Amino acid sequence: SVGDYVDVSGRPDVNSNTPTITVFSCRPIAPDFDHITLHFLQTIYAYLDLQRPPPETLVTDMYNLLRDYLDTGDEGLPFSWICTGTSFNHVIVRRALDILVSHELATYDPAEDKYSLP
């Protein structure tokens, strides 16, 4: 009900250009301000962690993935498919691919959410 607090554990994702959240657990909690403070600190930590630049090796791996698969005749690789081949968070993978696009080593089609080589 309104004013109740819940503890939700999950993971944000993007499916077919639609943001989604996969929830692993959801439980009611007492309005304990220590728990609420801990939640805000964990949220700040997660936000800052996602702001770090992707590892250079991931950028190289993304380029090699595009090169290897697009040599087989594919017109572009969907972002969702690219994400399945890595253990990195989709935000970090997107940032690595955006670096390739900004250096004109890859192209991006936002309508289809696909990456390809120029």
Q: Give the predicted TM-score (pTM) of the model.
A: 0.60
Instruction: Enumerate the domain spans of the chain.
Output: 5-51, 56-116
**DSSP 8-state class, residue 52:** S
Asked if 98 and 92 touch (Cβ cutoff 8 Å), the reply is no
Q: Of 9-18, 38-47, 53-62, where does mean pLDDT reach its minimum?
A: 9-18
Whether the per-residue pLDDT at 102 is higher than 90: the answer is yes
What confidence score (pLDDT) does residue 34 get?
86
Residue 96: partners with Cβ closer than 8 Å, 6 or more residues away: 54, 58, 59, 61, 62, 88
Percent of the chain with pLDDT strictly greater than 70: 100
Average pLDDT over residues 76-88: 86
Alpha-carbon torsion angle 27, 12, 60, 49, nearest 10 = -60
Model confidence at 73: pLDDT above 80:
no
Domain 56-116 classification at class level: mainly alpha
